[in-house]
A and B are shown apart, each in its own frame.
Chain A
Amino acid sequence: MIRARRAAALLFAAPATLGLLVFFVAPLAAFAVYSFLTGSLYEVTGPLTLENYREVVGSDLNRQLARNSLVVGVLAAVASVLFALPIAYWLRYTTSRLKGLVLFLIVASFLASYLVRIYAWRTILGSEGVINSGLNALGIIDAPLTFLVFNRFAVTLALVHIYLPYVVLVLYAGLVPLKPSYLEAAQDLGAGRIERWRRVVLPLVAAPAASALLFVFVLSAGDYVTPQFLGGKNGVLLGVQVQVAFTGTGDYAAGAAISFALLAGFLVCYAVMALGLRLTGLSRVRFVS
Chain B
Amino acid sequence: MTSGWERYVREEQTRRMLLRRMGLTTMALGAGPVLLGACGGDDEAAQPAATQAEGPAKVPAASGRIDYLSWEGYDVPDALKAWKTKNGIEVKTNYIANHDDIQAKIKAAGGSAGYDISTYYQGYKPLYEQLKILQPINEQKLPNLKNLAPFWAGDRANFWVDADGTRTGVPWTWTTLGLTYDSAKTSELPSYYDLLDPKFKGKVAVVDDPAGSFTLASHVLGLQPDKVKKADYAKVRELLANIIGQTTGVSASFGDMTTKLTSGDAVVCWQGWTAMNKFAADAGTKTVKTNFPKEGGFTACDCWSIPSTADNVDAAHAWINETLDPKVHAAAADNVVGGVTVNAAQPMVSKAVSQFYPVEQLEASLEKAPLYNNPPVQSDEFVTFEEMLKGWQELKAGAKA
A→B interface (CB under 8 Å): 40-42, 60-61, 64-65, 119, 122-123, 126-129, 144, 146, 149-150, 228-229, 231-236, 240-241, 244, 246-250
Contact = CB atoms under 8 A, between A and B. Distances in A.
B281 interface: no
A236 B130 contact: no
Nearest to A237: B397
Given A123-B263, A250-B107, A40 B398 contact: no
B36 interface: no
7 contacts: A41-B386, A42-B103, A232-B248, A233-B247, A233-B248, A247-B104, A249-B393
A65 B397 contact: yes
Contacts of A128: 263-265
A229 B103 CA distance: 23
Interface residues of B, number: 34
A233 B249 contact: yes
B390 interface: yes
Interface in B133-188: none
B311 interface: no
A149 B265 CA distance: 9
A127 B259 contact: no
Contact of A126 (B100, B131, B263, B389): B263
Given A65-B397, A146-B202, A146-B248, 14 more contacts: A41-B131, A41-B385, A42-B107, A61-B394, A122-B263, A123-B263, A126-B263, A127-B264, A144-B264, A231-B249, A236-B397, A240-B397, A250-B104, A250-B107
Interface of B: 100-101, 103-105, 107-108, 127, 130-131, 202, 208, 210, 244, 247-249, 252, 256, 259, 263-265, 377, 385-386, 389-390, 393-394, 396-399
Contacts of A146: 202, 248
A41 B130 contact: yes
Contacts of A144: 264
Contacts of B393: 61, 241, 244, 248-249
Contacts of B398: 233-234, 236
A231 B247 CA distance: 12
B397 A233 contact: yes
B397 A126 contact: no
Given A126-B264, A235-B249, A41 B104 contact: no
A235 B250 CA distance: 11
B131 A229 contact: no
B118 to A, nearest CB: 15
A64 B397 contact: yes
Contacts of A241: 393
Contact of A249 (B101, B377, B389, B397): B389
Contacts of A248: 100, 104, 210, 389, 393
Contacts of B394: 61
B104 A42 contact: yes
Contacts of B249: 150, 231-233, 235-236
Contacts of A231: 249
B256 A229 contact: yes
Contacts of A122: 259, 263, 265
Contacts of A149: 248, 265
User: Which residue among B108, B210, B249, B397 has the maximum number of chain A CB atoms within 10 Å of its CB?
Assistant: B397
Contacts of A150: 248-249, 265
Contacts of A127: 263-265
A42 B397 contact: no
Contacts of B105: 247
Contacts of B390: 249
User: Which residue among B210, B265, B396 has the maximum number of chain A CB atoms within 10 Å of its CB?
Assistant: B265
Contacts of A234: 398
User: Which residue among A40, A65, A250 has the maximum number of chain B CB atoms within 10 Å of its CB?
Assistant: A250
Given A41-B377, A246-B104, A248-B210, A126 B265 contact: yes
